[in-house]
Chain A
Amino acid sequence: MKQKQILIVEDERLIADDIKLSIKNLGHAVCGMASSGEKAIKIAEEKHPDLVLMDIVLKGQMDGTETAAIIRNRFHIPILYLTAYADDKTLERAKITEPFGYIVKPFENRELNSMIEIALYKHKIEKRLKESEEWLSTTLKSIGDAVIATDTESCVIFMNPAAQTLTGWMQEEAKGRTLREVFNIINENTGEPEDDPTSRVLHKGKAIRLADHTILIARDGTKHHIDDSCAPIKHEKGDIAGVVLIFRDITERKMLQRELMQAEKMATIGTMAASVAHELRNPLGVIKTATYNLERNLEKKDEKMERRIFNINKKIGEADKIITDLLNYSRLGKPTLAKIDINKLIEEVESRVKTEFPDTDIKTVKKLGSIPEIKVDQVQIGEVFYNIIKNAYEAIDEMGELTLSTKHIKSKNRVDIMITDTGCGISKENIEKLDQPFFSTKAKGTGLGLSLSFRIIKENHNGTIEVKSEAGKSTKFLIKLPALII
């Protein structure tokens, strides 16, 4: 065994010398001798001995137990007490300082030797245990997934930083509370609270996974979709010491999944629409040409007959519009960007829509600001304006006001376009559905116009559309387009 450096703290010189001799005989070195607590601390700090032999009763300000406590806490050096008094009270006091053993004076060399060996061994083991604990705790803290451990009563005993962030509870506050309080989960579909998973684990004794549609409600009310597994903490013998919960935030993944599903749906609609449109246009084409031939061959001008033909043609036009909308929606082409005067475009579109509603009394208020020309696809943005303004006209139904305003937000390098009407408004739940294809509240609508508009702005122009509405009063569409200079 390697020679150990030992500090002797003993206020009786004769005894100290005797111990020093014994230690040397045992093959260790004495790195210092102190007769008082203060001196002992000083030497411990300078020389970092492997072990301190400490007399419990010392002359001076500090006694042995006090000195030992300071040396333990500051330098983590093991202490072995020497004492002539083996009474309970003294031992009780000494115990608080986590001693590595006691030797009662007078003692044999053999006895001293074994006590030193045991103390050093115990210290080594303790050090290793502490390191391993620290390593484990650092590892748990570093894990990106959230980890919560509970005892067998489902009370929280540990939370790593990820768990603290997701739940909004700090470990210190959460400790001792029931898991249900800290880990508040509901079912995404029903909105009902989910059972505490730990009780199931404790009951079954094996690991479980939470359902795919679990939502964690954090302390501040924010909701996260989570993926979770829950397992018992088992001792080597097999008895359960508690439960460990591992979960992660999958909100983003869920959103991506949803977007992907939407994209797949669109692709299916696209393929179907293209073939249906093609197939429908054929018979429609025949009807139209046949009607043309019929009209030409009418023997005499017959007003009633002309009216019938007019109606057929009108309906052919309507059917064709639906097909065209569907086709445009399913294969929204890449934008052809060119510098466009938005003010001019929106005015043009507005007067075009106006001609389609000759019997209405709608006042148009224009608040068109000084805005730079921006790079957009003129046809596509025109389509967006057309859809929104036409909807506004339909919502107003006879009398009301339409406001068109544009603004250059210089700080954000953006152009804002606002289209407001005093029409019937849109209910809150319907606002959320506006960007969905085939959603319409109108008898004649296909539900493609606005949906296409949202896609044109978002996908093709990197902009946003916000809709605000007061049912029965007004609707406001706010389009924000980045002002591309290049």
Chain B
Amino acid sequence: MSIKRIILGDDDREMCEEVSEALEDSGYTVRCVHCGEDVIEKVKKEKLSIVLMDLKMPGIGGYEAFKRIKKINPKIPIIFVTGSLPSDVEKQLKKVRFTRILYKPFDIEKLIKEIDKVSKEGNTHE
């Protein structure tokens, strides 16, 4: 498996720590940021394979960041890892390509499966 570069946006530091620990052990490179603006910065500057982020973050938050990222690079896969979503937002997101939602608490195995699936989708469209 090729090394995949992941950006993880979550303002919960322990969350970032545990998830990157688990993912890095599985062969991913994880960069952690803690607000929506920083997620956008990383997407602009670095070559990333996938974005994982929470919906609720300081600053512009996950949803706004999602919209801006889609404008910069519509093909970058995004997985929301979040506690809950308002049902209208959930409906909206489910319609968008290369986008997934995973509710906390989640299985790391399940997250890895989702990452693989959504990356393949993105890559076949590249």
The digit string for A32-61, where 1 denotes a CB below 8 A from any CB of B, is 000000000000000000000000000000
Interface positions, chain A 233-292, Cβ under 8 Å from B, are 274, 277-290, 292
Is B64 engaged at the interface, CB distance under 8 Å to the other chain? no
Complex-state Cα separation, A333 to B91, whole angstroms: 11
Asked whether A289 lies within 8 Å of B22 as measured between CB atoms, the reply is yes
- A285 contact from B25, B56, B86, B104, Cβ within 8 A: B104
> What's the least CB distance linking B2 to chain A, in Å?
22
| Chain B residues within 8 Å of chain A by Cβ, number | 22
Number of A-B contacts (CB under 8 A): 63
Asked whether A286 lies within 8 Å of B15 as measured between CB atoms, the reply is yes
Beyond A278-B56, A282-B12, A296-B25, is A289–B108 a contact (Cβ under 8 Å)? yes
Asked whether A320 lies within 8 Å of B105 as measured between CB atoms, the reply is yes
A331 nearest in chain B by CB position: B87
Is B82 engaged at the interface, CB distance under 8 Å to the other chain? yes
> What's the least CB distance linking B15 to chain A, in Å?
5
Interface positions, chain B 53-97, Cβ under 8 Å from A, are 54, 56, 81-84, 86-87
Task: Classify the interface of chain B: helix, strand, loop or mixed.
Answer: mixed
Beyond A281-B104, A282-B104, A285-B106, is A274–B14 a contact (Cβ under 8 Å)? no
Asked whether A282 lies within 8 Å of B15 as measured between CB atoms, the reply is yes
Asked whether A286 lies within 8 Å of B18 as measured between CB atoms, the reply is yes
Asked whether A290 lies within 8 Å of B18 as measured between CB atoms, the reply is yes
Complex-state Cα separation, A446 to B104, whole angstroms: 20
Complex-state Cα separation, A285 to B22, whole angstroms: 13
Asked whether B83 lies within 8 Å of A286 as measured between CB atoms, the reply is no
Complex-state Cα separation, A26 to B21, whole angstroms: 125
Complex-state Cα separation, A280 to B84, whole angstroms: 10
Beyond A277-B84, A278-B83, is A293–B104 a contact (Cβ under 8 Å)? no
What chain A residues lie within 8 Å of B19 (beta carbons)? 289
Asked whether B56 lies within 8 Å of A293 as measured between CB atoms, the reply is no
Asked whether A279 lies within 8 Å of B83 as measured between CB atoms, the reply is yes
> What's the least CB distance linking B79 to chain A, in Å?
13
Asked whether B84 lies within 8 Å of A327 as measured between CB atoms, the reply is yes
Q: Most A CB atoms within 10 A — which of B54, B56, B83? A: B83
What chain B residues lie within 8 Å of A316 (beta carbons)? 105
Asked whether B106 lies within 8 Å of A288 as measured between CB atoms, the reply is yes
What chain A residues lie within 8 Å of B83 (beta carbons)? 277-282, 285
What chain A residues lie within 8 Å of B18 (beta carbons)? 286, 289-290, 292-293
Asked whether A286 lies within 8 Å of B14 as measured between CB atoms, the reply is yes
Complex-state Cα separation, A288 to B19, whole angstroms: 10
> What's the least CB distance linking A321 to chain B, in Å?
11
Complex-state Cα separation, A316 to B14, whole angstroms: 17
What chain B residues lie within 8 Å of A283 (beta carbons)? 12
Asked whether B105 lies within 8 Å of A333 as measured between CB atoms, the reply is no
B81 nearest in chain A by CB position: A285
Asked whether A293 lies within 8 Å of B105 as measured between CB atoms, the reply is no
Complex-state Cα separation, A289 to B103, whole angstroms: 13
Given contacts A277-B83, A293-B25, 7 further A-B contacts (CB under 8 A): A278-B84, A285-B104, A285-B105, A286-B18, A289-B108, A290-B14, A292-B22
A: residues with CB less than 8 A from B are: 274, 277-290, 292-293, 296, 316, 320, 327, 331, 333
16 contacts between A and B (CB under 8 A): A278-B83, A279-B83, A281-B82, A281-B83, A281-B84, A282-B12, A286-B12, A288-B104, A289-B15, A289-B18, A289-B22, A290-B14, A292-B107, A293-B18, A296-B25, A333-B87
